[in-house]
Amino acid sequence: MAASLSCSASDLIPLLSGGANATAAAAAAEYICGRFDTVAGKFTDASYAIDNTFLLFSAYLVFAMQLGFAMLCAGSVRAKNTMNIMLTNVIDAAAGGLFYYLFGFAFAYGSPSNGFIGKHFFGMNDFPKPSFDYPYFLYQWTFAIAAAGITSGSIAERTQFVAYLIYSSFLTGLVYPIVSHWFWSSDGWASPARSENLLFQSGVIDFAGSGVVHTVGGIAGLWGAYIEGPRIGRFGHSGKPVALRGHSATLVVLGTFLLWFGWYGFNPGSFATIFKSYGASPGNSFYGQWSAVGRTAVTTTLAG
């Protein structure tokens, strides 16, 4: 909206003078344009504030998914392993926040860089930038710890605290950031934002992390389950599986709804901005980015 607001004193002078005092008309035109530019600047500030508030709120929703993972996993394991599985989700948030701050964000979005890994913004140095503000970092951090949280359920009841700490730090600080750089950074080798040498002439389009987040988390979980093997008592002496039922259906249902709630930040929030009109002229269209955000929330609801 703010980009369309402009004022030119040279255009106003003929309208204000009317053949009379040209000096006074010029002064009036300069004053009007000065006030107009101030208003235009306020609109620009408001658009940044609205978009960043939207992204912050989306980050809070995605962060709430950590509680959903904790509740779902805690209810799905036996009571004796509840504390262990809940601590793994705390580790994802705490250790993931530290390592994503120090290295992860730089490896993911440290542009300009090469197609494999980023190399700027370590420890959020030289931050923020016009293209990156603090809400963007927070939002991307929640994605990183969500990828780590996917794995915790696949290796439940058979992982030591220190081992999981090492895994979580490694995934959020190095593995996930490199993969997200490939597809979401403008410099990534598979990014659709590349100016040249696009993969398959289009790049890889992953809107909300269905590939980047869930593939990383899923593959890490698969390897973790393969390396650690089944839980003790999962199979009988004859090799037949033994059901190891979770101890709390209440926690499972609570965790499910918390994850569902968090998805409203994961999918609609991936637009990153909301204050954008799709109409030809500002102020004359009810259809804009906010409509796309709402539609994405609807499809997320229908997907369950």
The DSSP line for 228-242 is H-SPTTSB-TTS-B-
Distance between CA 22 and CA 14 in Å, rounded? 8
Q: Are both 97 and 11 inside the same structural domain?
A: no
Q: Are both 140 and 262 inside the same structural domain?
A: yes
Chain mean pLDDT for the chain: 86
pLDDT at residue 187 tops 60:
yes
pLDDT score of 50: 93
Q: How confident is the model at residue 14 (pLDDT cuts 50, 70, 90)?
A: low
Number of compact structural domains in the chain: 2
- 177 vs 211, residue with greater confidence: 177
pLDDT at residue 219 tops 70:
yes
pTM (2 d.p.):
0.85
In a domain, 303, yes or no: no
Range of the domain at 27: 1-37
pLDDT at residue 18 tops 60:
no
Q: Which residues contact 27 (CB under 8 A, 6 or more apart)?
A: none
Q: Give the burial class of 284: count Cβ atoms within 10 A of its Cβ; 0-12 exposed, 13-18 middle, 19 or more buried.
A: exposed
pLDDT at residue 2 tops 50:
no
pLDDT score of 181: 95
Average pLDDT value for residue range 124-133? 84
pLDDT at residue 295 tops 60:
yes
Torsion of CA 212, 73, 92, 266, to 10 degrees: 40
CATH number of the domain to which 99 belongs: 1.10.3430.10
Q: Would you state the structure tokens that stand for residue 292, as one six-digit string?
A: 């796309």
Q: Are both 88 and 223 inside the same structural domain?
A: yes
Q: Would you state the structure tokens that stand for residue 64, as one six-digit string?
A: 């709430």
Average pLDDT value for residue range 109-128? 90
Distance between CA 282 and CA 1 in Å, rounded? 6
